[in-house]
Each structure stands twice: as structure tokens, then as C-alpha cells.
Structure 1
């Protein structure tokens, strides 16, 4: 990962009882994101905080913001979002640019 990496973090609140189906569909449609030439990878994490029951975080890294924005407005992304939308009861998005990174001892 270089300092030019553009990171997107989605916070998704999933409807109660739909978590397993959400995880399955996220994996099924994931290549529509990771298959984009500007995508550097994508991760799905489930919150373990007590007051965040059913909350997931999706992080994806991109070579730059313009190419992410191009993907964000594409038909491919619309189809991806349409498959995941039925599971959501809320969410938010944060974007950022990586300015530095340090590798951990276990890396």
C-alpha cells in the first residue's frame, strides 16, 4: 500500500436475523468491487461492540479517488448495491487518503 491509497469505509446496520445472508451475498458480489482495475482490496468486519449489534464495516482501498468515484457511479456498482440493499436498515460512508503506514511485528 502506498501513501496514494484512497480508502473507503462503509458502516452498515444489518436488519436483525439477516446477518448470515448478508455475509453470503457480500461474498457473492465482492468481485464486482475487487475486479475493478483500480481496487486494491476489500474487507468485511463485524463489530464486536455491545451497542453495535448487527453492524458491519466494509473497507476498500483504491489507487486514487477519481477512479473510485468512477466506479461509484458505474452500472456495476449499482447492481452490487442493489443486491446488498435489502439487508440494510442504515449506514454511512467515510472516505480518506492514507498518509502513512507502519507494519506490525506480525507482518
Structure 2
């Protein structure tokens, strides 16, 4: 499995709008046949955002990375962004936790908790 982690710095005051747009346009990424899933997290330390996506392999991610749908996705998020970085990695091991999928939170439950 191939993992991509983006760190995004969002312009002050635009965080809520960024989150809403990210959710609205996320299927541009997750509907790609090689995408295994994607997560959006906000840092409790510095307020930056981390976007993690998992892919079946690097070549299929790179194919997506240069696609028109990815460029459009980036274009829609660009107005909120003030900086960021990208890190890629190969997942070499996974140890499931005791809670397993019980620890997963659905989008609807997450929205209700906000």
C-alpha cells in the first residue's frame, strides 16, 4: 500500500469553509479506483491540517496525481491554502488495535459531534 500525507496551512478564518469544500469535493479523490480511502485531520498543536490518503500502489497514485480531476480538486482548495508539504511513503506493516473498526467514526456521527 502507498500512503500520501499532505500538511496544509489554511488562511486564518477560512478553516470552516476549507473543511466544507474538502468534504464536498472529496469524491474526486475517493472515487478513483486505486484510492483506498482518505482522512482529514486538524492538528491540535498548530491548527494545520493533515490529509492522508491510501492507494493500492505508487504508480496508480502518480496516474491520479497528473489527472485532470486532481488538478481541478487542487484548484478548488487553493484559495484556502497558505502553504503546505507532501510526504509519500510505503506502508510496511499494520497492527490492528483492540477497538478495531469500533473506533471508526462515520461522517454523520462526526458532524453531529461538532
**TM-score, normalization by structure 2:** 0.87
The root-mean-square deviation of aligned C-alpha atoms, in Å, is 0.4
Identify the residue that residue 35 of structure 1 maps to in structure 2: 31
Identify the residue that residue 14 of structure 1 maps to in structure 2: 10
Q: Which runs of 4+ in 1 moved over 2 A?
A: none
Q: Which runs of 5+ in 2 are unaligned?
A: 101-114
Identify the residue that residue 19 of structure 2 maps to in structure 1: 23
Q: What's the offset of the Cα at 1:38?
A: 0.2
Q: What's the offset of the Cα at 1:69?
A: 0.2
Name the structure, 1 or 2, with higher relative contact order (CA <8 Å, separation 6+): 1
Q: What's the offset of the Cα at 1:25?
A: 0.3
Q: Which runs of 5+ in 1 are unaligned?
A: none
Identify the residue that residue 90 of structure 2 maps to in structure 1: 97
Q: Count residues in correspondence.
A: 100
